[in-house]
């Protein structure tokens, strides 16, 4: 039996690395042919929320590749900024460094620095129909200066009090446990093998 192809619907190298680790742990070794999104594929993110955008990306990449596709849409929602940058997190400024600078500029002098990272995941069948969705949230606050060398995006500014570290300081295992993407994937994981491999769903612990 030919094993299913699962395309990670992203060109973000940081996301690709995180998903690769998560999927390696969630699925039997060698059971699925994991592939990155083909070069040149772009999807306009016109959805009204994270889940809508994740579904748009998963559907488009699945239809383009004629394979299963797993997509996410993630963003940082800051309370003092009325939820911004939100679904526009990746387009908040032209570069990663400038996005961090802009966030700090907009929060200058503000006492309330509470924020949350949100991830929505969508798994699409090869015909583009959505098979599974999930969401994960991490609550924390925005630091006054970047800390840590790991991660990507806003990670150096996002502090998790329960861990006492920024996302950029966490080990991969810590980020999988406390991060929004890891939590969204944990909600999807019990149903993933059932969808891809036609196996019974994993029992909840």
Q: Is 15 annotated as a binding residue?
A: yes
Q: Is 12 annotated as a binding residue?
A: yes
Q: Is 181 annotated as a binding residue?
A: yes
- Strand, helix or coil at 14? helix
Given 72, 73, 79, 112, the catalytic residue: 73
Q: Is 180 annotated as a binding residue?
A: yes
Cβ distance 143 to 128 under 8 Å? no
Cβ distance 185 to 26 under 8 Å? yes
Active site residue 112: no
Cβ contacts of residue 31 below 8 Å, gap of 6+?
3, 193, 196, 197
Tell me the sheet residues that pair with 69: 7, 124
Which helix (DSSP H) or strand (DSSP E) does residue 82 occupy? none
Q: Is 13 annotated as a binding residue?
A: yes
Nearest Cα to Cα of residue 195 among 121, 136, 135: 121
d(CA 106, CA 110) in angstroms, rounded, equals 9
Q: Is 96 annotated as a binding residue?
A: no
Q: Is 153 annotated as a binding residue?
A: yes
Q: Is 122 exposed, middle or buried (0-12, 13-18, 19+ CB in 10 A)?
A: buried
Q: Cis before residue 194, ω within 30 degrees of 0?
A: no
Q: Is 92 annotated as a binding residue?
A: no
Q: Is 73 annotated as a binding residue?
A: yes
Radius of gyration of the chain (CA): 17
Q: Is 14 annotated as a binding residue?
A: yes
Pairing of strands 165-166, 158-160: antiparallel
Specify binding-site residues: 10-15, 44, 73-74, 152-155, 175, 180-181
Q: Which residues are catalytic?
A: 73
Specify binding-site residues for Mg(2+): 44, 73
Specify binding-site residues for substrate: 10-15, 74, 152-155, 175, 180-181
């Amino acid at each position: 039996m030919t094993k299913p192809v699962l395309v990670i619907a992203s060109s973000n190298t940081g996301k690709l690395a995180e998903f690769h680790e998560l999927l390696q742990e969630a699925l039997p070794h060698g059971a699925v042919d994991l592939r990155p999104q083909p070069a040149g594929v772009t999807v306009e993110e016109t959805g009204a929320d994270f889940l809508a955008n994740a579904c748009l990306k998963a559907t488009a990449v699945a239809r383009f590749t004629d394979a299963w596709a797993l997509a996410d849409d993630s963003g940082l929602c800051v309370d003092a900024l009325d939820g911004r940058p939100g679904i526009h997190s990746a387009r908040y400024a032209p570069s990663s460094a400038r996005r961090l600078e802009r966030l700090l500029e907009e929060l200058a002098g503000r006492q309330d620095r509470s924020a949350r990272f949100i991830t929505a995941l969508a798994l699409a069948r090869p015909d583009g129909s959505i098979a599974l969705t999930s969401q994960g949230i991490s609550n924390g606050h925005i630091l006054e200066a970047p800390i840590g060398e790991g991660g990507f995006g806003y990670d150096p500014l996002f502090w998790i009090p329960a861990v006492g570290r920024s996302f950029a300081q966490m080990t991969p295992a810590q980020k999988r446990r406390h991060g929004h993407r890891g939590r969204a994937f944990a909600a999807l994981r019990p149903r993933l093998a059932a969808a891809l491999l036609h196996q019974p769903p994993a029992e909840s612990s």
